[in-house]
Amino acid sequence: MNKGQRWRLFWAHAALLGFIALMLVPLLMVISISLRAGNFATGGILPSAETFSWEHWRLVLGLPVLQPDGTWAAATVPVLRWFWNSIKVAAVSAFLILMLSATCAYAFARMRFRGRDGLLGGLLILQMFPMVLALIAIYSILEGLGRWVPALGLDTHPGLILAYLGGIATHIWMIKGYFDSLPVALEESAAMDGASPWQIFLRIMLPTSLPIFAVVFILAFIGLLGEYPLASVVLQRTDQWTLAVGANSFLYEQNYRWGDFAATAVLAGLPITLLFLVCQKLLVSGLTAGGVKE
């Protein structure tokens, strides 16, 4: 490596480190606000010894909180319950989205039927419109459905999950593109050995496509974990709220409780971070590699 190449490598690493530092500043500020006494987002990036406090995290974790008069009182905000609601709704929705989008993508990638191209085009158009535009329609559907099946109506987690399942167009296109990269010879060989289409899908397509399935699950989980507009309309009772809806209750015109909001935001980022660390290899291979090549 000559001198010019070393300098280019140095500046490339310097630019990357600078970009990482720039991205870490907002994260450090949020963590700092969650560890600072009071509910004001003022001060430096890191809390000082005089302002350092665990009061916001005690509230978030459901521990007794020190009151202004010096007494201790139980936390009245069920943040951990909201956290569990978010994990439950996002995980179940992501799993069902993966099942539906995988089977639909396989049909579009390998089967030929009337209206196939029109349906693919329709899915492409549908994903251009955000779910917020359908809030009134979704509310009316869940309200009417709740009269016949209360478990799938408004203010229920199954009803919210049912509404989330409508946003699978993007995932269908993503998995279909991965299926298209798999050689058809694999399925033809299995069919010659007597495998049925369902056996081919379960024993060949699913194991081979594990990286893209991990990507779709993670992206769906992340997107739904912090989803606010639809959840705020469907969920009405406090104990049914997800973390995004509950965190928004800390911000109202009379008092912006930035410390509690920041601690809740950090808590919401923990499952996403753990999921990325666990599925890192699958995520990288699913985003950068195609299917098995002939």
158 & 273 share domain: yes
167: in domain = yes
What pLDDT is attached to residue 197? Answer: 79
3 & 139 share domain: no
Q: What percent of the chain has pLDDT over 70?
A: 89
Residues 6+ away with beta carbon under 8 Å from 181: 290, 291, 293
Between 273 and 38, the more confident residue is 273
205: in domain = yes
Average confidence (pLDDT) over 115-140: 83
- Per-residue pLDDT of 23-38, as tens digits, reads 888 888 888 888 888 7
- Per-residue pLDDT of 190-210, as tens digits, reads 888 888 878 888 888 888 888
- Asked if the model's pLDDT at residue 245 lies above 90, the reply is yes
69: in domain = no
**Average pLDDT of every residue of the chain:** 84
228: in domain = yes
188 & 109 share domain: yes
265 & 127 share domain: yes
1 & 88 share domain: no
55: in domain = no
Please, which pLDDT band fits residue 161 given cuts at 50, 70 and 90? very high
29 & 86 share domain: no
- Asked if the model's pLDDT at residue 254 lies above 80, the reply is no
3 & 137 share domain: no
Please, which pLDDT band fits residue 46 given cuts at 50, 70 and 90? low
151 & 14 share domain: no
Residues 6+ away with beta carbon under 8 Å from 220: 90, 93, 94, 97, 98, 171
60: in domain = no
Q: How far apart are CA 203 and CA 230, in angstroms?
A: 37
Between 10 and 143, the more confident residue is 143
36: in domain = yes
153 & 264 share domain: yes
- Asked if the model's pLDDT at residue 285 lies above 70, the reply is no
Please, which pLDDT band fits residue 293 given cuts at 50, 70 and 90? very low
167 & 127 share domain: yes
Q: Let me know: does 223 contact 97? Beta carbons within 8 Å.
A: no
Q: Let me know: does 246 contact 79? Beta carbons within 8 Å.
A: yes
- Asked if the model's pLDDT at residue 136 lies above 80, the reply is yes
Residues 6+ away with beta carbon under 8 Å from 199: 190
25 & 141 share domain: no
- Asked if the model's pLDDT at residue 47 lies above 80, the reply is no
Query: Can you give the CATH number for the domain in which 108 is found?
Result: 1.10.3720.10
Please, which pLDDT band fits residue 82 given cuts at 50, 70 and 90? very high
136 & 258 share domain: yes
- Asked if the model's pLDDT at residue 118 lies above 60, the reply is yes
Q: How far apart are CA 187 and CA 198, in angstroms?
A: 11
Average confidence (pLDDT) over 237-256: 86
* Domain that includes residue 2, residue range: 1-48
- Asked if the model's pLDDT at residue 97 lies above 70, the reply is yes
Total of domains in the chain: 2
67: in domain = no
What pLDDT is attached to residue 67? Answer: 72
Between 86 and 286, the more confident residue is 86
Q: How far apart are CA 173 and CA 181, in angstroms?
A: 13
What pLDDT is attached to residue 40? Answer: 63
